[in-house]
Amino acid sequence: MCETAMMPQECMDNKATRMTIPNLRLNNGFDMPQIGLGTATLNDEAIVPVLVTAINAGYRHIDTAFRYGNQRGVGKGIRDSGVARERLFVTTKLDGEFQGNDRAIAGLDECLRQLGLGYVDLLLIHWPLPQRDQYVATWKTFEKLVDSGKVRSIGVSNFKPAHLERLRASARIHPVANQIQLSPRITREDHVAADRAHNIVTVAWSPLGAGKGMLDDATLKRIGAKYGKSPGQVVLRWNIELGLAAIPRSSNSERIKQNLDIFDFSLTPAEVAEISQLDTGAEPRVDADKSGH
């Protein structure tokens, strides 16, 4: 065994070499493993073997949400993996139905019931939904949830810099993370800079472009060939070089492992810049001011 609870030195039993998943230190002192496993679209049944494979491959950070409808499966996968819960960093998110009027209290209780856990490491407001104007009130409830011990850290998702400013203005506990759509095609440097200015970790969702062709890019292939890595690994390494966390999803056991096998090479600053220049200027899939759930 080479693990210590909640520490970064993780064994990769499937590899001849040992690799470490770095942690990002959150602004409240807890650590978040820089690569996590995304679980969207994988239902309660499908997620169980995926999670067992991933945890046994070395993943210690798992991203789910009430909306994904898979928290029971996530909980079962954690139990079936045989790895102690304290060694894992589990994130879940509450969407619109839990905003306002302390609804998040019941929301978190339901998440914990489904997951079969006593606490989550990170709870996120899934979308700001500014048209409802309840995210500041919801944050007050999130602060109470930290006090209750049922959640260690609280953060946001899909928040634009202006939403963050407004929330922070009256926050007693500051958000530790902002989970946003981010990839070489949509680099969102303004969001990353705003997060960084407030010591908030940016977590990239759809970091691999959600399987929509980004990984066919010639630049990513060329850089990957130089290091003997796939385009997906190059993209995840780019996240690491930028100091971001990323939560790639895969249900393929080889790619689950491949997506962690990114800690034995580095990109040069020129390569990081070249990948960042793949930004298309495209809008995110959902404009957080107009839509969401």
Ligand X SMILES: NC(=O)c1ccc[n+]([C@@H]2O[C@H](COP(=O)([O-])OP(=O)(O)OC[C@H]3O[C@@H](n4cnc5c(N)ncnc54)[C@H](OP(=O)(O)O)[C@@H]3O)[C@@H](O)[C@H]2O)c1
The one segment of 2-10, 12-20, 75-83, 205-213 that binds ligand X by CB under 6 A: 205-213
Indicate whether 217 belongs to the interface with ligand X (CB under 6 A): no
Cα 100 to Cα 106, 136, 138, distances in angstroms:
11, 8, 5
* Contact characters 82-101, ligand X, x per CB under 6 A: --------------------
Beta strands in the chain (DSSP E): 23-25, 31-33, 37-38, 61-63, 89-94, 120-125, 151-157, 177-181, 201-205, 245-246
Our measurement of the distance from residue 11's CA atom to the centroid of its chain's CA atoms, rounded to an integer in Å, reads: 21
Distance in Å, CB of 157 to ligand X, minimum: 4
Q: Contact at 8 Å (CB) between 93 and 125?
A: yes
Indicate whether 187 belongs to the interface with ligand X (CB under 6 A): no
Beta strands in 76-200 (DSSP E): 89-94, 120-125, 151-157, 177-181
**DSSP letter, residue 291:** -
**Catalytic-labelled residue, pool 59, 68, 119, 227:** 68
119 has catalytic annotation: no
Q: Contact at 8 Å (CB) between 51 and 292?
A: no
Q: By CB under 6 A, name the one of 207, 234, 237, 275 that touches ligand X.
A: 207
Alpha helix ranges (H) inside 156-277: 161-169, 189-197, 218-227, 231-241, 253-258, 269-276
Q: Which of residues 136-165 bind ligand X (CB under 6 A)?
A: 157-158
Distance in Å, CB of 149 to ligand X, minimum: 24
Indicate whether 239 belongs to the interface with ligand X (CB under 6 A): no
Indicate whether 77 belongs to the interface with ligand X (CB under 6 A): no
Distance in Å, CB of 2 to ligand X, minimum: 25
Helix (H, G, I), strand (E, B) or coil at 17: coil
The one segment of 14-22, 35-43, 106-114, 266-274 that binds ligand X by CB under 6 A: 35-43
Total number of residues binding ligand X (CB under 6 A)? 27
Q: Which residues bind ligand X (CB under 6 A)?
A: 38-40, 63, 126, 157-158, 179, 205-211, 215, 230, 232, 247-252, 255, 258-259
